[in-house]
Amino acid sequence: RMLSSYKPQNDVRDSYKILELEEGCSLDDVRNSYRNLAKKYHPDSSSGMADSKAFIRVEEAYRVVLSDLAAKQKSDADEEEEDQFKSKSLQHRHYLSFEGVGIGTPSQREKQYMQFRVDRATEQVLEYRQQRLESRYAGSDLSRAKDVRQSKKVKITQAVERLVEDLIQESMAKGDFDNLSGKGKPLQKFSDSPHIDPMTHNLNRILIDNGYQPEWILLQKEIRETIERLRNSIVASRRKLGEPMTLSEQKQWGRICEQFEEDIRKLNKRVDNFNLVVPILSRQMVHFSTDKEIRRARKTYEAVLEKVSASDVKENKGEEGK
């Protein structure tokens, strides 16, 4: 109680000297020095240098130093915040356009300014409709106006509809819709299925008409083209080596099979990615086997040899007949 009601009277420099510290030290140094001096001068300690007056001076100096450190930290934080504000302030003349909104290139700032105008218009419409509702229900029925969720939902829906309609009319006035395909023609009827949303059906139809394809369809097409290309390449490599193969040709065929195995491994990774994004389980694909593909290439090569030999026999018979 005596220490809590005591007002410090030491100077800041004297307080640092009492704590045996120098100005600019850290908070941990101050705490460690205070702890050591308290053990040394506290009246209840078993130290031979216990002194209540010396402990009071240490306590007073500790409080002064703590307040000084807190003031320095606050001033440093204020200076840093001011420097950040100065660094973020716009100093160039060309930023005066677009009401000073946005950062980046002029095109990026123009897009950000358009979004800012949309948000500001939405807020103004909401405030206008809120004032109308408050004036309408001020004297008659306050209980209906207290339904915040319903009124907010109605306000946002009507404001967005009005804003979208204004943007459409503005684009039509500028002529942005003049070059669209099918202008002036009636829209196609939606599907007769009652389970399909008309808006979703129309958007999907527009995407399909413009050549859009989902990711899984593109991956499936890529996988099929890749395996067909690999099969043709290994058959062509086998045909170049001839029959029967020499020792050097067998080593070359081994290297071709190793490269083919690496290509199949990479292709199987694409199959895994395809199976993750395909929406239908029955459309998922299985991994390609290197051994099966090599056996298939050998069978294809043997079939080609049989066709070649058969054609040679026919040519020989024709020449003998002539």
User: Can you tell me the mean pLDDT for 64-79?
Assistant: 81
- Please indicate, yes or no, if residue 90 is contained in any of the structural domains: no
Q: Are residues 223 and 276 in the same domain?
A: yes
Q: Are residues 52 and 128 in the same domain?
A: no
The domain boundary residue, chosen from 176, 192, 226: 176
Q: What's the CATH number where 47 sits?
A: 1.10.287.110
Q: Are residues 133 and 171 in the same domain?
A: no
Q: Are residues 144 and 125 in the same domain?
A: no
Q: Are residues 305 and 268 in the same domain?
A: yes
Q: Are residues 36 and 52 in the same domain?
A: yes
- Please indicate, yes or no, if residue 247 is contained in any of the structural domains: yes
Q: Are residues 130 and 65 in the same domain?
A: no
Percent of the chain with pLDDT over 90: 13
Residue 89's pLDDT is: 45
**Among residues 215, 297, 227, 299, which one has the least CA distance to residue 265?**
227
Residue 3 reports pLDDT greater than 50: no
CB-CB neighbours of 61 under 10 Å: 26
The domain boundary residue, chosen from 176, 193, 227: 176
* Domain span at 247: 215-312
Task: Give pLDDT tens digits for 103-156.
Answer: 778 788 888 888 888 888 888 888 888 888 777 766 555 555 556 667 777 777
User: Can you tell me the mean pLDDT for 24-42?
Assistant: 83
- Please indicate, yes or no, if residue 282 is contained in any of the structural domains: yes
Cα–Cα distance between 253 and 247 in angstroms, integer? 10
Cα–Cα distance between 9 and 44 in angstroms, integer? 24
Task: Give pLDDT tens digits for 46-63.
Answer: 777 777 888 888 888 888
- Please indicate, yes or no, if residue 225 is contained in any of the structural domains: yes
Number of domains composing the chain: 4
- Please indicate, yes or no, if residue 128 is contained in any of the structural domains: yes
Q: Are residues 113 and 74 in the same domain?
A: no
User: Can you tell me the mean pLDDT for 87-112?
Assistant: 65
Cα–Cα distance between 27 and 23 in angstroms, integer? 11
Asked if residue 285 lies in contact with residue 271, where contact means CB atoms within 8 angstroms, the answer is yes
- Please indicate, yes or no, if residue 189 is contained in any of the structural domains: no
- Please indicate, yes or no, if residue 241 is contained in any of the structural domains: yes
Residues shown for the chain: 322
Q: Are residues 27 and 44 in the same domain?
A: yes
Cα–Cα distance between 277 and 222 in angstroms, integer? 14
Q: Are residues 120 and 144 in the same domain?
A: no
Q: Are residues 74 and 116 in the same domain?
A: no
- Please indicate, yes or no, if residue 195 is contained in any of the structural domains: no
